[in-house]
Chain A
Amino acid sequence: MKNYDIVIIGGGPAGLAAAVSAKENGIESILILERDKELGGILNQCIHNGFGLHTFKEELTGPEYAGRFIEQVNELQIEYKLHTMVMDIRADKVITAMNREEGLFEIQAKAVILAMGCRERPRGALNIPGYRPAGIFSAGTAQRLVNMEGYLPGREVVILGSGDIGLIMARRMTLEGAKVKVVAELMPYSGGLKRNIVQCLDDYGIPLKLSHTVVDIQGKERLEGVTLAEVDGKGKPISGTEEFYSCDTLLLSVGLIPENELSGGMGVELNPVTSGPRVNESLETNIEGVFACGNVLHVHDLVDFVSEEAKAAGKNAAMYVKSEGITDRPASDKGKKPCVRLKATDGVRYTVPETIHVDRMADTLTVRFRVGGVYQNCFISAYFDDERVIHKKRPVVAPGEMEEIKLTKEQLEKYPDLEMITVKIEEA
């Protein structure tokens, strides 16, 4: 069995940034396992621009953004295996993987970084009634067909879901010659960025119908049309509002789910809200030495934040490996000293991380979260037990955009008996 200090599961943006960071923090023995034919993950099919404004201070396309990190991985001579599927990870960090050349093989890691990303929610998860013909794609599948393989999935398109992938695909399909008839969104607001609504829909005269959903799918072999209807406040279709759109293609952009089957299999505890692992300030899961970052942890909207999070995970994994053998290393004091718990409430759906060991945290810790609705002129507040310590005014917050607060070690050290930090939205 081969041994590595750190094995990274997934060579997408999270895995790449984690690898670079682990190397820069002094770990030599690193392996990235990637199931696809190349590094870069889903960025390779995101050929649109808008990536990297935070990380590189310039606007890049997905492949270019991935390319920057791949270059670093190559320069740092970090080892990786492509076409390699991880079949199983055990709690003792033995990884079983498979590829054509090496067959089925095991690797022992000292630390594991989970960076498997996410998958799209399929039609079935939405219970859309109707037939099941060809021509129904998740937006990402269509994106791969068009951008990587050069095939057009259809000519007349309806898109359900106004998440960013759906909006981006509306423009892509238009520019490749398809007619995008309408984008329907179940919620009364779009889950995508304003910029994408303007530049992907408005630029091409594609209507966006909020509070609408698909209520029927017609066509036995190839899709022939869909029926849209308006929904009420509870998301139930309103009878009498049905409208038929003839089309040969329905793209679904209805949400992403972190891919945590491997994590679950090894005993990593998951948060039902994010479907991602529960982590502490080090982005470490309930299994010591197993870290998570990127979309497998919680779904991000900007890759820049994935890279930032992965950088922290890589650094923390490096510190974990380097502290091996030291009996009083901070990682082993779980249970001795109670950690600070974070609670999400009043419009805040979750926080990453969920616990903080103050002695182990970096000088500044970013707590990321999402809100459950659109709030205008509100405050994002953090209470240290009963005392309100952070009270940040925000003109608007929305579920489509990830929020954050920063905590400093200095600040937390002032509250030695702190048990709980409550993060909430407070209306003005």
Chain B
Amino acid sequence: MYDYDVIIIGAGVSGSAIARELSRYKVNACVLEREEDVCCGTSKANSGIVHAGYDAPIGSMKAKMNLRGNAMMEQLSKDLDFPFFRNGSLVICLDKKDMPRLQELYDRGVANGVWGLQILMKEEVKEREPNITDEVYAALYAPTGGIVCPFGLNIALAENANTNGVEFRFHTEVQKIEKSEEGFILHTSQGDYRAGYVVNAAGVYADHFHNMVSDQKIHITARKGDYFLLDKSAGKHVSSTIFALPGIYGKGVLVAPTAHGNLLVGPTAIDIPNKEGTNTTREGLDQVLAKAGMNVKNLPMRQVITSFAGLRAHEDQDEFIIEEVEDAKGFIDCAGIESPGLTSCPAIGELVADMLRDKMRLEEKEEFIATRKGILNPETLSKEERIELIKNNPAYGNIICRCEMITEGEIIDAIRRPLGARSLDGVKRRTRAGMGRCQAGFCSPRTMEILARELKVDMQDVTKSGGASKIVVGVNKDTI
């Protein structure tokens, strides 16, 4: 039996943000994650948007967390070294008749405390974004809107939490939770854990765990979103995040640059019964294609390099549930964290850590390390610095991923650092090796070699994403 003061279920952005904020205190905490790495569920497949905060109902937890998270993101991105840009957002209104609904968004934003909102008329919109459709009538401009690398954010939070003493157990699936005298017993695929406090940050499965300990049931629906990711050559098609005005055509799709300079188009919103259903569908992709051009013209859809689907954890009341469960004291829900969840995660981390601090009377650690250095990106160096870097470590002179120009040095760093990469996808999320236009065609055999060498495993045991996702299955002629 493993004993902890606090166990956090789930190493997505919520769980990792909570772990990071909690690591400020003297507490024995552990994150249990069923996958092989952090950032493997909802956190890895979403729009990467930092919302301004005009969507959520006035006074809601969503609104509160959104505004606070948005305000925290910039400093956090500096402290923890992950890509974040305040590129602004536009909600496009195509028809004069729909102006009341645009005005409604504006008013709600103002009431929520969103700074700098403006309604722009056609000319101003076109001036800001020449590729907006000529049909545009007006747009709501939010200068505080931003984009963030969701992997970068999640990994940075988890690494920093780990550096500050929070343990992470991967491939550890919580199967059953029992209340006990001193708190909770968690039966997992890797043995039993005991903790006084449990934080339920399990994404689409948060209802599952909540309902194990409470009679007041909640329900989370997996809401699927299909996306297209376009080549960097299309990354400057728009500079702000372009939203559709929600309305009679249903919710439209967004078009946004990503924090790494690609272009993202999506998502759909389809409720599905299967919480593992991260497959894209023909209908979903066709829907995105059909809606893509509604607000942005001349979208170069020939430049698509990949499509993917993510599941949002939609709660029936359409609200974040971040509170201690009434009939299970010590069990804190962090449920229904769908959009604007990514934006909100720093605030959610702060809120939950504060709750635990107060309940557990936690003391601050003097040795808390508030900053973290990300994987060195040689492209940010001057020519002289880069030459010096290669002289000291020739691995930085060896390009492995040709499309994203990622060196062996970066990949080795990704593997060796705290909570380092264990798989091709782990390397990809940390370094972008394999995320470019050839989608790992050239670099995967080379990255596999580096993983095998660094982790001291056979090439045949290298996986795409842990578990049974082995890349090669044998050697030539082994069955003939």
Residues of A within 8 A of B (CB): 35, 83, 85, 87, 98-104, 119-120, 122-125, 127, 129-135, 137-138, 140-141, 144-146, 148-155, 176-177, 215-217, 220-222, 237, 248, 261, 264
Q: Are A151 and B475 in contact (CB under 8 A)?
A: yes
B279 touches A35 (CB 8 A): no
**How far, in Å, is B39 (CB) from chain A's closest CB?**
15
Q: How far is the CB of B32 from chain A (nearest CB, A)?
A: 20
Q: Which residue of B lies closest to A229 (CB)?
A: B282
Question: Are B473 and A85 within 8 A (Cβ)?
Answer: no
Chain B residue at minimum C-beta to C-beta distance from A96: B383
Complex interface: chain B residues within 8 A of A119 (CB): 437-438, 441-442
0 or 1 for each of B438-480: is its CB under 8 Å from A? (1 = yes): 1111101100000000000001100111111111111111111
The B422-446 residues at the A interface (CB cut-off 8 A) are 437-442, 444-445
- A104 near B386: Cβ-Cβ < 8 Å: yes
Q: When the two chains form their complex, are residues B476 and A85 in contact, meaning their CB atoms are under 8 A apart?
A: no
Stretch at the interface among B89-97, B143-151, B152-160, B397-405: B397-405
Q: A150 — which chain B residues lie within 8 A by C-beta?
A: 475-476
Q: How far is the CA of A221 from the CA of B280 in the complex (A)?
A: 15
- A129 contacts B438, CB within 8 Å? no
Given A134-B471, A149-B459, are A176 and B476 also a contact pair (CB < 8 Å)?
yes
Query: Chain B residues with Cβ under 8 A from A99's Cβ?
Result: 397-398
Determine the residue in chain A with the shortest Cβ distance to B397. A100
Question: Would you list 26 pairs from A and B whose C-beta atoms are within 8 A, ordered by A residue?
Answer: A85-B402, A102-B397, A103-B390, A122-B305, A122-B438, A122-B439, A124-B229, A124-B306, A134-B463, A134-B465, A134-B470, A141-B442, A141-B445, A144-B445, A146-B476, A148-B445, A149-B459, A152-B472, A152-B474, A177-B474, A177-B476, A177-B478, A221-B464, A221-B465, A221-B467, A237-B282
Q: Is B362 an interface position by the 8 A CB rule?
A: no
Chain A positions within 8 Å of B464 at CB level:
133-134, 221
Decide: A124 near B307, CB < 8 A? Known: A98-B399, A145-B472, A152-B472: yes
Query: Are B279's CB and A130's CB within 8 A?
Result: yes
What are the nearest 8 A-B pairs in CB distance? A124-B306, A122-B439, A134-B464, A100-B394, A103-B390, A151-B472, A134-B469, A85-B399
Say if the beta carbon of B276 comes within 8 Å of chain A: yes
- State the CA gap A261–B461 with chains docked (Å): 34
In whole Å, how far is B103's beta carbon from the nearest beta carbon of chain A?
Answer: 37
Contact of B304 among A85, A120, A125 (CB under 8 A): A125
Given contacts A129-B284, A177-B477, 18 further A-B contacts (CB under 8 A): A35-B399, A98-B390, A100-B397, A103-B390, A104-B383, A125-B305, A129-B282, A132-B278, A134-B470, A141-B442, A145-B472, A149-B445, A154-B472, A176-B477, A216-B282, A217-B279, A221-B465, A237-B282
Contact indicator A215/B390 (Cβ below 8 Å): no
Which B residues lie within 8 Å of A261 (CB)? 403
Q: How far is the CA of A145 from the CA of B394 in the complex (A)?
A: 26
The residue from B281, B397, B437, B467 contacting A101, defined by CB atoms under 8 A apart: B397
Q: In the bound complex, how far is the Cα of B460 from the Cα of A110, in angstroms?
A: 47
A99 to B466, CA, bound (A): 32
B469 pairs with A124, CB closer than 8 A:
no
Inter-chain contacts of A264 with B (CB < 8 A): 233
What A residues does B279 contact at CB under 8 A? 129-131, 216-217
When chains A and B are docked, how far (Å) is the Cα of A289 from the Cα of B460?
47
How far, in angstroms, from A221 to B278 measured CA to CA in the complex? 12
A34 → chain B closest CB, angstroms: 12
Nearest-neighbour CB distance to chain A for B277, whole angstroms, equals 9
Which A residue sits closest to B391, measured CB to CB? A103
Q: Which residues on A sit within 8 Å (CB–CB) of B281?
A: 129
Q: Residues 216-240 of chain B: 1 if any A CB is under 8 Å from the residue's CB, otherwise 0?
A: 0000000000001100010000000
Of A103, A131, A155, A217, which is within 8 A of B397 by CB? A103
Nearest chain-A residue to B383 (Cβ)? A104
Which residues of chain B are near A237, meaning CB under 8 Å? 282
Contact of A248 with B473 in the complex, beta carbons under 8 Å: yes
Mask of B289-323 contacts with A, CB within 8 angstroms, 1/0: 00000000000000011111000000000000000
Contacts of B460 in A (CB 8 A): 151
Point out which of B276, B403, B479 has the most chain A C-beta atoms below 10 A from its C-beta: B479
Q: Is A132's CB under 8 angstroms from B308's CB?
A: yes
Shortest CB–CB separation between residue A250 and chain B, in angstroms?
A: 13
CA distance A177 to B478 in the complex (A): 7
Shortest CB distance A74–B (Å): 24
Smallest Cβ-Cβ distance to A99: which chain B residue: B397
- Given contacts A98-B399, A141-B441, whether A127 and B285 have CB atoms under 8 Å apart is yes
A98 adjacent to B472 (CB under 8 Å): no
CA distance A264 to B475 in the complex (A): 40
Does B375 belong to the interface (CB within 8 Å)?
A: no
Report the Cα distance A137→B440, complex, angstroms.
9
CB distance from B110 to the nearest CB of A (A): 40
Q: For the complex formed, measure the closest distance between the CB of B176 and the CB atoms of chain A, giving whole angstroms.
A: 23
Given contacts A100-B397, A125-B305, A129-B282, contact A153 B473 (CB under 8 A): yes
Min distance, Cβ B241 to any Cβ of chain A, angstroms? 22
Contact of A104 among B278, B390, B441, B471 (CB under 8 A): B390
CA gap between A264 and B233 in the complex, in Å: 10
Known A99-B398, A104-B390: A127·B304 in contact at CB below 8 Å: yes
Contacts of A125 in B (CB 8 A): 304-305
A120 partner residues in chain B, CB cutoff 8 A = 438, 441
